Structure 1
Amino acid sequence: MIRTAALAHIRDRRLLQTRSTGKDVFYMAGGKIDPGETPETALHREIREELGVGAIDVRELDVFEAEAYGHAPGTRLHMTCYLGDLTADPSPSGEIAELRYFTLSEYAAMPDVAPGSLMVFRRLHDLGLIDE
């Protein structure tokens, strides 16, 4: 089980996704929870590392469990996802090569998608927060 914390940051009814250097798939902004960290503490650390900004007005959306993309078959992802805003415009930093905002259909049309991210897209669409 891979435990992560992720940020659902929405702008213009699109959800922010990040692509790591050397990878093709876009994921939720965030990352693994280190030993001794709470999911929210990990979220704030990861957002600073990946986007170069702070996360504000953070509130838990839900916990999503899915197949962990890019890992051995059967490896599960346990992702605590938060809705929130950013203190400034994000820019890729650390291992992040690219940031992009997607609608549900834009993300789903990608050649490869992360199952956990797709679950979040669907939930946010069902809640009326992002466009199809």
Structure 2
Amino acid sequence: MTASIDKIAWICLREGRLLCARSKGKEIYYLPGGKREPGESDADTLQREIEEELSVRIKPETVLFMGTFEAKAHGKTEGTMVKMACYSAEYEGKLTAASEIEELAWLTYEDRVKVSAAAQMVFDRLHEQGLLI
């Protein structure tokens, strides 16, 4: 049986670069976001996780679905997959690493090798669309 991780992720682009986060003690970057809590909608999860991890408030009226991506989960047991529903949204506040996040970075397509397999799929899509330099 294949295990699956249900994740909500934030696509935040600035000047052709994508915001990524690295957790404490990890080498690989991920898209900010996290797992849904029971009864939460995608938008609720996005708002909660981004506020916890990045200290900013997502503007709920700007949340826009960007796609779902599925790949092998990085650092998990063989056969574990991650299904990542991605959303763009505007935010208020100053981006600041919080909670388990050690570092924030604005990555380009050249940095694709530094991110998880699911995030690589997002990088590919955004690059094809001309949104990621």
Give the TM-score category using the shorter length: over 0.9
Structure 1 residue 99, shift from structure 2 partner: 0.1
Partner of 2:101: 96
Any stretches of 5+ residues in structure 1 without a counterpart? none
| Conservation of the 8 A alpha-carbon contact between 1:4 and 1:39 | no
Q: Which has the higher strand share?
A: 1
User: Kindly, what percent of the aligned residue pairs are identical?
Assistant: 39
Within 5 Å, give how 1:83-122 maps onto structure 2: 83-108=88-113, 110=114, 113-122=115-124
Distance in 2, Cα, partners of 1:8 & 1:68: 18
Distance in 2, Cα, partners of 1:85 & 1:130: 17
Structure 1 residue 88, shift from structure 2 partner: 2.5
Give the counterpart letter for 1:101 in structure 2. W
Distance in 2, Cα, partners of 1:19 & 1:86: 20
Give the counterpart letter for 1:114 in structure 2. S
Distance in 1, Cα, partners of 2:14 & 2:94: 11
TM-score (norm 2): 0.92
Residue of structure 2 aligned with 1:6, choices 6, 9, 17: 9
Secondary structure of residue in 2 paired with 1:70: coil
TM-score (norm 1): 0.92
Aligned length: 128
Partner of 1:128: 130
Which stretches of structure 1, 4 residues or longer, exceed 4 Å deviation after superposition?
none
Within 5 Å, give how 1:1-132 maps onto structure 2: 1-56=4-59, 57-108=62-113, 110=114, 113-131=115-133
Distance in 1, Cα, partners of 2:110 & 2:100: 26
